[in-house]
Chains A and B, each alone.
Chain A
Amino acid sequence: MNNKLIIAAAGAGKTSYIVDAACAIPSGNVLILTYTIANENEIRNRFFEKNGGIPKRVTIQTWFSFLLQHGVRPYQDTLKTELFDKHIGFFLSPQASGVKIKAGGSLRYNIYYAEDAEFLKHYFTSDMKIFSDKISKFVCRTDQESQGLVFCRIKEIFQHIFIDEVQDLAGYDLDIVKSLCASVESTLLVGDPRQVAYLTHNEKKYAQYAEGKIQEYIRDKFGRRIPCEVDNTSLRYSHRNNSAICEFSSRLFPNFPSSISCNCANCRTAITEHLGIFALSEDHVELYIKKYSPLQLTWDQTVNCSSSAPRMNLGESKGLSHDRVLIYPTKEMSKWLRDNTNDLEYRTRARLYIGITRARYSVAFVLDRRQVNNISNIEIWAP
């Protein structure tokens, strides 16, 4: 049992680190779990770049596909014997699943199928696809009921498990992480609690750990029985953000050690002017885009922005690198930009952090005319 949580700054070379760590393990099978398919492909590609291919003993899988294959199916009839002959599929549920009666009229809240009374409807769609927000609960229950068969089997297959983007796991997922840490030879949990964009699901269970509180979960629930080292430094150096961006973004999370811009000779050499953090008036957006061609980042698609440069949602931009970004802050974000002591809800804070840390050279915020005049701690760009 050798467990390690690494807090990784944006652009610190997380993927490379994981690939190197996997290749460095001398024996045993390695499982690398990611949350998104995009991330899975990135790791796959990195293996080919660094190693010429993926070693036979390394498996790369998304979290849900892992849960379905190794968590659900081998013992799927443990909780309900009638599941023995069923083919269980997977359903990515955008909202809380298993709604029995929808809210409406005098009913203010949805009513859901209860686990014990309507087991099948609680966990599955009518064509036997398990809901994404219940799958980890199903796995935990199955393991409990079968006296630990699930994790015992996983331990036989994989001796080392890496989990990428561990900050996105929520609810029963966390219990699965705990069980994995307690059973296999070594685990490597990598993530950035500052970058929770989308949780695997919105579960009431462990809501207190939802906002990037993986470290707190480990502290509270692992206890002394499952030792887990927390490493704040190995992936602290950003190969993407320059020092101005590092410094500025770190203000969003003063409780974390601030990220540090790397000193590599080859990182960030293409551009030497207009570096750092800027603000500009909405009147100048077109000129700015013409001059610097940034990636535009907005809260969602409804935000008005220029059509002359590509646009993306802040949350979706996670994992990407861009030379320059142009962020359209929300009202709350603007308040925080004006005065960093202003309160900012975690979800908004995390997305702002994600947006800022996409840039290698410069980050600019689009403000209205009045706001531009009010801001004092950010350099104003004007044509």
Chain B
Amino acid sequence: MQIKKVKIKNFKIYKDFSFEFKDGINLVVGNNESGKSTLLEAIHLTLTGVINGKYLKNELSQYLFNRERVLEYLVDIRAGSKKLPPQILIEVYFGTAEHPMFKGKYNSDHMDDYGVALQIAFDNNYHESYMALIESRDLTTLPIEYYKIEFIAFSREVVLPRNIPLKSVLIDSVSNRYQNGSDIYIARIIQDDLEDKEKVGLSQDYRKLKQNFIESSHIKEINKKIADKRVSDKKLHISIDLESQNAWESILVTYFDNIPFHYAGKGEQCIIKTNLAMQHKHSQNANLILLEEPECHLSHTKLNQLLKQISENCESKQIIITTHSSFVANKLGLKNITLINEQRTASFADLTTETYNFFKKLAGYDTLRLMFCKKAVLVEGDSDELIFQKAYMIQHEGRLPIEDGIDVISVGLSFKRFLEVAQKIQKPVAVITDNDGDYQQNIIRKYEEYRADAKIEIFADNNNSLRTLEPQIVNANNSCLNALKTVLGLNTGEYGDKQELINYMTRNKTKCALKIFESSESLIFPTYIKQAVGWCNEQ
């Protein structure tokens, strides 16, 4: 069983968000704070009722709500308006027509579908006290005590999380433990794999164990002793709590080569948990594996090993992996990538075939750079990159663009491939390019489709006689050619003719660019490069 879509309203970073999944591997890529972990958290919470390893009902707080929504609400209440407190809604749409009990139109799509929703909403039973509260207008926090938590199938049937047929396993970087140190997730993973008979057997054995303990001679002796101390008219004695049903869960500790699981290294833990979850024989249990940033604790080799196991064993399981790592992304397949950026998503599967194939061929290439930067500057090659970086540093007290979140990516002639991706994720991108002697054709016409896009800016010079970067530099420094020659490490007597200097620079593109980059002398940069630097400063 799989999930095909998740819709999230007012939960943490998400105001109104929708994410579609496919069968098998799903790679969720996004920058820090883009909500990747929150997405996994939301899915896991809705399918299990557990957040941060604890039951939601004990963990309900204002911080689960979207901060802006809460502030809006508080401001409105203080201004005297009578407003319903914000509600959290997380909907999980099942991908298969398997559980008709969960079928109905009670979802925000209003379509006949299978799924379940978590609603954290105002409980109308508190209407009166709530009215009294907002009447006072003195509300500084969300009145969380008036909320109720409900898991509701699309058929409007209120369900318990344990009755939701789809189970998820969340493998994240934080391990949540029971008091005795045993790991909740691993206990859960193992539990989910047990047959009912096995579970009953376990709990009965545990009960017997406790019974035997109570009947041991030592306990009896102690009880005799206590009974003798007449503290009350009633008989006083000690015993073990026999009431809780599944107490065995919390005392079981998982061993791994005789080492308690939680003493194993974080990386090892991650691998064990993932593999355990993938090997479940139950078809309906733990079908969904949520894996958070596997690159975090794993060495390159171990990561490789884990990724190999995932791609080999994932057929029957749906795995949702969040990652920062281009290595993970390349290894598990670019077509599985969905990007999250500012609560928007873009799937690599939607890209045109040419663009998709282009990125696929760039094995080992840092495919994710475009996604993680604040702004990107696309240049043709190394020399353009160096010159731009230098121009930027001069304006920014020697800081490299990357230190300000601006990534300069050298893309050869594939500007349009990158622009296609940038457009999908609404990333601000500048292109610095040569006019190659035909501004009209190579700039205006070529980038016509991006002219209306406010996030994409093309920087090139319209003087057709200055075809490339080198004549542009020479032209910009026309009044101080000797200074330029010094920077390039040439004698002022050499290359007296301007064209000769251009030819020299063009033959030694990278060498010259490096000289300029490393020099402490300042040069004059071509206008279109300066404009690009200016664009970087814009908000």
Q: Are A75 and B104 in contact (CB under 8 A)?
A: yes
Q: Which of A70-104 contact B (CB under 8 A)?
A: 70, 73-78, 84
Question: Is A149's CB within 8 Å of the partner chain B?
Answer: yes
Q: How far is the CA of A74 from the CA of B105 in the complex (A)?
A: 6
Contact with B along A284-324 (1 / 0, CB 8 A): 00000000000000000000000000000000000000000
Question: Is B355's CB within 8 Å of the partner chain A?
Answer: no
Q: How far is the CA of A149 from the CA of B114 in the complex (A)?
A: 13
| Residue with the highest number of chain A CB atoms closer than 10 Å, among B112, B155, B156 | B156
Question: Is A153's CB within 8 Å of the partner chain B?
Answer: yes
Q: Are A69 and B157 in contact (CB under 8 A)?
A: yes
Complex interface: chain B residues within 8 A of A78 (CB): 105
Complex interface: chain A residues within 8 A of B156 (CB): 73-74, 76
Complex interface: chain A residues within 8 A of B110 (CB): 77, 84
Q: Are B104 and A157 in contact (CB under 8 A)?
A: no
> What's the tally of chain B residues with a CB closer than 8 Å to chain A?
13
Q: How far is the CA of A156 from the CA of B98 in the complex (A)?
A: 9
CB < 8 Å neighbour of B100 from A69, A75, A76, A153: A153
Q: Is the interface of B mostly helix, strand, loop or mixed?
A: loop
Complex interface: chain A residues within 8 A of B105 (CB): 74-75, 77-78, 149
Question: Is B154's CB within 8 Å of the partner chain A?
Answer: yes
Contact with A along B43-73 (1 / 0, CB 8 A): 0000000000000000000000000000000
Q: How far is the CA of A153 from the CA of B105 in the complex (A)?
A: 11
Question: Is B151's CB within 8 Å of the partner chain A?
Answer: no
Complex interface: chain A residues within 8 A of B101 (CB): 157
Q: Are B100 and A73 in contact (CB under 8 A)?
A: no
Q: Which of B101-155 contact A (CB under 8 A)?
A: 101, 103-106, 110, 112, 154-155
Complex interface: chain A residues within 8 A of B104 (CB): 73-75, 153
Taking the nearest CB of chain B, how far is it from the CB of A53, in angstroms?
Answer: 12
Instruction: Across the interface, name the chain A residue whose C-beta is closest to B156.
Output: A73
Taking the nearest CB of chain B, how far is it from the CB of A139, in angstroms?
Answer: 14
Complex interface: chain B residues within 8 A of A73 (CB): 104, 106, 155-157
Q: How far is the CA of A43 from the CA of B100 in the complex (A)?
A: 25
| Residue with the highest number of chain A CB atoms closer than 10 Å, among B105, B112, B154, B157 | B105
Complex interface: chain B residues within 8 A of A84 (CB): 106, 110
Interface range on chain A (Cβ under 8 Å from partner)? 10 to 19
Q: How far is the CA of A232 from the CA of B280 in the complex (A)?
A: 51
Q: How far is the CA of A156 from the CA of B101 in the complex (A)?
A: 9
Q: Are B103 and A153 in contact (CB under 8 A)?
A: yes
Q: Are A156 and B157 in contact (CB under 8 A)?
A: no
Instruction: Across the interface, name the chain B residue whose C-beta is closest to A155.
Output: B100
Q: How far is the CA of A77 from the CA of B155 in the complex (A)?
A: 11
Complex interface: chain B residues within 8 A of A76 (CB): 156
Q: Which of A49-73 contact B (CB under 8 A)?
A: 69-70, 73
Instruction: Across the interface, name the chain B residue whose C-beta is closest to A56.
Output: B196
Contact with B along A150-176 (1 / 0, CB 8 A): 000100110000000000000000000
Q: Which of A154-201 contact B (CB under 8 A)?
A: 156-157
Complex interface: chain B residues within 8 A of A70 (CB): 155
Taking the nearest CB of chain A, how far is it from the CB of B316, in angstroms?
Answer: 23
Q: How far is the CA of A156 from the CA of B113 in the complex (A)?
A: 13
Q: How far is the CA of A116 from the CA of B97 in the complex (A)?
A: 35
Q: Which of A10-58 contact B (CB under 8 A)?
A: none
Instruction: Across the interface, name the chain A residue whose C-beta is closest to B112.
Output: A149
Instruction: Across the interface, name the chain A residue whose C-beta is closest to B155.
Output: A74
Q: How far is the CA of A73 from the CA of B157 in the complex (A)?
A: 8
Q: How far is the CA of A341 from the CA of B349 in the complex (A)?
A: 83
Q: How far is the CA of A276 from the CA of B392 in the complex (A)?
A: 111
Q: Are A156 and B103 in contact (CB under 8 A)?
A: yes
Instruction: Across the interface, name the chain B residue whose C-beta is closest to A76.
Output: B156
Q: How far is the CA of A73 from the CA of B156 in the complex (A)?
A: 6
Complex interface: chain A residues within 8 A of B155 (CB): 69-70, 73-74, 153
Complex interface: chain A residues within 8 A of B97 (CB): 156
Q: Which of B72-117 contact A (CB under 8 A)?
A: 97, 100-101, 103-106, 110, 112
Instruction: Across the interface, name the chain A residue whose C-beta is closest to B97.
Output: A156
Taking the nearest CB of chain B, how far is it from the CB of A326, in angstroms?
Answer: 47
Contact with B along A250-270 (1 / 0, CB 8 A): 000000000000000000000
Complex interface: chain B residues within 8 A of A153 (CB): 100, 103-104, 112, 155
Taking the nearest CB of chain A, how far is it from the CB of B42, in angstroms?
Answer: 21
Taking the nearest CB of chain B, how far is it from the CB of A369, in angstroms?
Answer: 61
Instruction: Across the interface, name the chain A residue whose C-beta is closest to B108.
Output: A84
Q: How far is the CA of A157 from the CA of B100 in the complex (A)?
A: 5
Q: How far is the CA of A73 from the CA of B153 in the complex (A)?
A: 11
Taking the nearest CB of chain A, how far is it from the CB of B88, in angstroms?
Answer: 15
| Residue with the highest number of chain B CB atoms closer than 10 Å, among A74, A77, A84, A157 | A74
Q: How far is the CA of A154 from the CA of B493 in the complex (A)?
A: 93
Q: How far is the CA of A75 from the CA of B105 in the complex (A)?
A: 6
Instruction: Across the interface, name the chain A residue whose C-beta is closest to B103.
Output: A153
Taking the nearest CB of chain B, how far is it from the CB of A138, in angstroms?
Answer: 14
Q: How far is the CA of A76 from the CA of B104 in the complex (A)?
A: 9
CB < 8 Å neighbour of B106 from A69, A74, A156: A74
Contact with B along A333-365 (1 / 0, CB 8 A): 000000000000000000000000000000000
Complex interface: chain A residues within 8 A of B106 (CB): 73-74, 84
Q: Which of B295-323 contact A (CB under 8 A)?
A: none
Complex interface: chain A residues within 8 A of B112 (CB): 75, 149, 153
CB < 8 Å neighbour of B103 from A69, A74, A77: A74
Q: Which of A100-122 contact B (CB under 8 A)?
A: none
Taking the nearest CB of chain B, how far is it from the CB of A59, in angstroms?
Answer: 10
Instruction: Across the interface, name the chain A residue whose C-beta is closest to B104.
Output: A74
Q: How far is the CA of A24 from the CA of B104 in the complex (A)?
A: 31
Q: How far is the CA of A84 from the CA of B105 in the complex (A)?
A: 9
Complex interface: chain A residues within 8 A of B157 (CB): 69, 73
Taking the nearest CB of chain B, how far is it from the CB of A199, in angstroms?
Answer: 28
Complex interface: chain B residues within 8 A of A156 (CB): 97, 100, 103
| Residue with the highest number of chain B CB atoms closer than 10 Å, among A69, A78, A156 | A156
Taking the nearest CB of chain B, how far is it from the CB of A105, in angstroms?
Answer: 39
24 contacts between A and B (CB under 8 A): A69-B157, A70-B155, A73-B104, A73-B155, A73-B157, A74-B103, A74-B104, A74-B105, A74-B106, A74-B154, A75-B105, A75-B112, A76-B156, A77-B105, A77-B110, A78-B105, A84-B106, A149-B112, A153-B103, A153-B104, A156-B97, A156-B100, A156-B103, A157-B100
> Given contacts A73-B156, A157-B100, could you give 7 more A-B pairs where the C-beta distance is less than 8 Å?
A69-B157, A74-B106, A74-B154, A77-B110, A84-B106, A149-B105, A153-B103
8 closest residue pairs by CB, A with B: A74-B104, A156-B100, A73-B156, A74-B155, A157-B100, A153-B103, A75-B105, A153-B100
